[in-house]
Amino acid sequence: MKGWVRVFAGAALAAWGAAGQVKVTIDAGQTSEPVSKYEYGMFIEHLGSLVYRSLWAEMLDDRKFYFPITGKAPEAAGGGPMRRFAPRRWRPVGGDGVVTMDEERPFTGQQSPRIELDRATTHGIEQTGSPLVKGKRYMGRIFLRGGAGARVMVTLRWGAGGNEGQTLSFSGLGETYREYTLRFTAQADTEQGVFEISGTGEGSFHVGTVSLMPADNVEGFRPDTIALLRELHSGFWRLPGGNFISNFNWYDSVGNRDRRPPDFDYAWNAAQSNDVGMDEFMTLCRLIGVEPYITVNAGFGDAHSAAEEVEYMNGAASTRMGAMRARNGHAAPYHVKFWDIGNEPYGTWQLGRTDLKYYVLKHNEFARAMRKADPTITLLASGAMPDEMTVEGITRAMHLDNLQAQFGSEADWTGGLLAHCWGNFDGITEHWYSRAGYRFDLEAAKEGKKFGRAEVGDVPVEETALEWVRHPSNRVHLKAEEWEEYERRFPAMRDKKIFLSNDEYAYTGSATNLKLALAYAMVFNEMMRHTEFWRMSAFTMGVSTMDYTETAAVLNTNGVLFKLYGDHMGKIPVAVSGDSPQPAPKYPPGGDQPRTSAGSPTYPLDMVAALTADRKFLTMAVVNATDQAQRFELNVAGVRVGGKPTVWVMTGKNLEAANRVGQKAEVEVKEMEAGDVAQPVEVAPISVDIYRFPVVQ
């Protein structure tokens, strides 16, 4: 049956093409593999504020005293722009000489501060910069030991006046550490709260560790950000993941949080408190309603520790590692299904990197050990197709004559896994990052050209708004082209249903606004065109769906988009055809350029359509990245639609519209009845629209 539908009246109407509009046909009789519930997944790693200020509710940095306590300014952190997170440091109260770091009997890690006391002058340590909210309660704990002559005061201060703070006093300390409870209520708002541990008296006292959280935390996590993330229907989170994982010791990340040693992340040049470990990540996944997907350390790690990690997470309490988990308060196994061996092991930046010819041996050893620990797990191999190896400069680092990685060569990491690790994986991972305003140029890479903070080979490119928005979906389309080449070379991939997991992706170098959301909508649409093998995707980063401070959070335009698709887009893709093909690529294929352009044959619009899982509705996502309303004629075949259709429209006043904490949302989704039938469809400018048509049974 066929139907003509009018669904949205835009403020302006612009004709396209000689016919005045695009002709589009949705054939619901031609279906693809259902969209996996893991299509809108997320990625997170311990980096900057991505875990410890956005998700975890702890307010004090370096609470286990990894760094020495001194009044001197800390040395500038090394590394690139993602490494500029500046932790709040402890400073001495009473001069540098009052604090020494005890390395002989530390509470945890390598050292604990010892404060020398004076009868007349207060000595101690303080940390400034914690935001406080008037009327909000804060709770925590501190571990102290010291002589009988010590009197210790713990103060939370919200102002400079003598009465603008609350102090708790502790005396009668002993030679062994004892835990003391902290409870405060702030009496004013401030962005510069001060937390002070000080004392007077004779002798000295030691601070083992200290913690302070808002009292409304949910099992250690922020309730506001947790509530927002639950709305996104993400399916899974990949964690802990990232470059961090190649130096991660999971054994140190479980057990009593206060006794876990802090560690140093050499990938990002940052100290980690080790508070959010494997059990806490499982709590996070439960709180936001997603499945965990764990990456094991295949950098400095080994197969034995990976297998024991599997047993800790999934083993019965009767197993050795399962018994450890039970002692840590988690008797039931987590039954984690998805496991990834290594993170970007092809990257020259990766700790413990080996060449491909050795890495395939490592992967096989890991896979056998992990499956022995739990034969039911789904294993993923960390791949890199020719585009990734070329764009990220791996071929250049390998000193290859041909900087464009070739299928079947020593630079073809994914091909090497398929050739030498067959049977030791169920899926293969890919990563991609596109930089706004740049494209990869092979000749520039050969000459070693570098523009600003862009990577070698990335050259500035002038693009229209529509070209800019379509840019990252071209990278998705390129991945699909390469996957088809692998299926041609390894036909058993189809028989074994080897799938692709896009474990990390992002369009970097842009503000988070409506323009970026339009680009990610086209990315979603392109992934939906390849559901026969594209089964999982993890957006970088999970918290990049929010605009947040330490005390408040809202969904940004990325988050609004994820929620729109998660709430309203169907799950069974159907065929979409049209009479207006996307323009041919402007640049030769290779690097980050596909052979053909991404998108549906409905230029300048991009469309996908899908039936809902119960087949009661036909849905259609339309991205209009132009500044004019567009229209198209819609022909529906394969099902009969009727009744009143609905449309959800995501738009704003301009491409720079954004959602920020403390400001009125500039980008929202509005639901409305779509109108009558028998007329062309009109699509609002700079919008993402999801239409839902009732299917007449």
Task: Output the domain CATH number for residue 667.
Answer: 2.60.40.1180
Looking at the DSSP bridge assignments, the partners of residue 620 are: 609, 691
Residues 93 and 240 in one domain: no
Residue 83 has pLDDT above 50, yes or no: no
Report the pLDDT value the prediction gives residue 8, as an integer from 0 to 100: 35
Which has the higher per-residue pLDDT, 379 or 643? 379
The reply to whether 399 and 526 lie within a common domain is yes
User: In this structure, what token pair is assigned to residue 426?
Assistant: 């169920």
Report the pLDDT value the prediction gives residue 20, as an integer from 0 to 100.
60
330-347 pLDDT, tens digit per residue, is 999 999 999 999 999 999
Domain boundary among 522, 554, 569: 569
Average pLDDT over residues 506-520: 97
In a domain, 536, yes or no: yes
Could you read off the pLDDT of 443-497 as tens digits, one per residue?
Answer: 999 988 888 878 899 999 999 999 999 999 999 999 999 999 999 999 999 999 9
Tell me: pLDDT of 78 over 60: no
In a domain, 65, yes or no: no
> Beta-strand (E) ranges in 240-276?
263-265, 270-272
In a domain, 600, yes or no: yes
Output the six-digit token pair for 187: 């009496």
What is the 3-state composition of the chain as percent helix, strand, coil, each rounded to the nearest 5?
25, 30, 45
Query: What is the CA 367 to chain-centroid distance, rounded?
Result: 25
Kindly indicate the confidence band of residue 399, based on its pLDDT and cuts at 50, 70 and 90.
confident
pLDDT at 452: 81
CB burial of residue 541 (10 Å; 0-12, 13-18, 19+): buried
Q: What is the mean pLDDT of residues 148-171?
A: 93
pLDDT in tens, 41-64: 999 999 888 999 999 999 999 999
What single letter denotes the amino acid at residue 268? W
Q: Are 302 and 427 within one domain?
A: yes
Closest to 293 (Cα-Cα) out of 262, 335, 338: 338
Query: What is the domain-level CATH number for residue 180?
Result: 2.60.120.260
List, for residues 98-116, the tens digit of each pLDDT value.
999 999 999 999 999 999 9
Residues 529, 477, single domain; the answer is: yes
For residue 675, the model assigns a pLDDT of: 63
Identify whether 15 is part of a domain: no
Q: Where are the beta strands (DSSP E) in 250-373?
A: 263-265, 270-272, 291-296, 338-341
Q: Is the pLDDT of residue 17 over 50?
A: no
pLDDT on residue 553: 97
What Rg value do the Cα atoms of the chain yield, rounded? 28
Between strands 112-116 and 204-214, the pairing is antiparallel
Q: State the DSSP code for 245.
A: G
Q: Which residue has the higher pLDDT, 680 or 341?
A: 341
pLDDT category at 205 given cuts 50, 70, 90 is very high
Residue 625: pLDDT band with limits 50, 70, 90: very high
Q: What integer is the mean pLDDT of 506-512?
A: 96
Label the pairing between strands 91-93 and 546-548.
unpaired
Mean per-residue pLDDT, 384-399:
92
pLDDT at 678: 53
Angle CA(289)–CA(45)–CA(546) in degrees, nearest 5?
Answer: 60
More confident residue, 12 or 217: 217
CB 466 within 8 A of CB 625: yes
The whole-number pLDDT of residue 7 equals: 38
Q: How many CA atoms lie within 13 A of 490 on its CB side?
A: 20
Q: What is the pLDDT of residue 648?
A: 97
How many independent structural domains does the chain possess?
3
pLDDT at 14 over 60: no
Is 12 inside a domain boundary?
Answer: no
Q: Which helix or strand (DSSP H or E) is residue 358 part of?
A: helix 356-373
Residue 251: per-residue pLDDT = 97
Residue 6 is assigned to a structural domain of this protein = no
The model's pLDDT over 409-421, given as tens digits with 9 standing for 90+, comes to 999 999 999 999 9
Backbone angles phi, psi at 629, to 5 degrees: -65, 145
State how far the Cα of 585 lies from the Cα of 652, in Å rounded to an integer: 29
> How far, in Å, CA of 415 to CA of 407, rounded?
7
At 546, which CATH number? 3.20.20.80
Closest alpha carbon to 534 in 565, 489, 570, 502: 502
| pLDDT score of 528 | 97
pLDDT tens track for 566-608:
999 999 999 999 999 999 999 989 899 999 999 999 999 999 9
Tell me the pLDDT band of 250, cut-offs 50, 70 and 90: very high
Q: Point out the domain boundary residue: 182, 214, 246.
A: 214
Task: Assess whether 398 and 491 both reside in one domain.
Answer: yes
Out of 569, 591, 617, a domain closes at 569
Instruction: Give the pLDDT band of residue 231 (cuts 50, 70, 90).
Output: very high
**What's the pLDDT score for residue 352?**
94
204 and 88 co-located in one domain: yes
**Please, which pLDDT band fits residue 1 given cuts at 50, 70 and 90?**
very low
For residues 359 and 366, give the distance between their C-alpha atoms in angstroms, rounded to a whole number.
Answer: 10
In a domain, 522, yes or no: yes
Q: How far apart are CA 428 and CA 360, in angstroms?
A: 13
Query: Which range marks the domain in which residue 527 is found?
Result: 41-55+218-569
Same domain, 543 and 402: yes
The reply to whether 615 and 688 lie within a common domain is yes
Token duo for residue 430: 């890919």
Residue holding tokens 């539908």? 5
Q: What is the pLDDT of residue 676?
A: 55
Q: What is the 3-state secondary structure (H, E, C) of 137-180?
A: EEEEEEEEEECCCEEEEEEEECCCCCCCEEEEEEECCCCCCEEE
pLDDT of residue 558: 98
Closest CA to 659 of 551, 578, 547: 547
This model's pTM is above 0.85: yes
The pLDDT score that the predictor gives to residue 11 is 29
Same domain, 405 and 325: yes
Question: In a 3-state reduction of DSSP, which class is residue 98?
Answer: helix
Query: Is the per-residue pLDDT at 4 higher than 80?
Result: no
Same-domain pairing of 231 and 246: yes
Within a 10 A sphere around the Cβ of 156, how many other Cβ atoms?
24
Q: Residue 16 — pLDDT band, cuts 50, 70, 90?
A: very low
Q: What's the confidence (pLDDT) of residue 79?
A: 44
- Decide: helix, strand or coil at residue 86: coil
| Bond from prior residue into 601 cis (ω within 30 degrees of 0) | no
Report pLDDT for 267. Answer: 86
* Same domain? 287 vs 414: yes
Q: What is the pLDDT of residues 636-650, one digit of tens each?
A: 999 999 888 999 999
Whether 14 maps to a domain, the answer reads: no
Task: Give the helix ranges, DSSP H, for 374-509.
Answer: 386-391, 394-397, 413-420, 442-446, 465-489, 492-495
State the average pLDDT over residues 82-96: 80
Residues 439 and 336 in one domain: yes
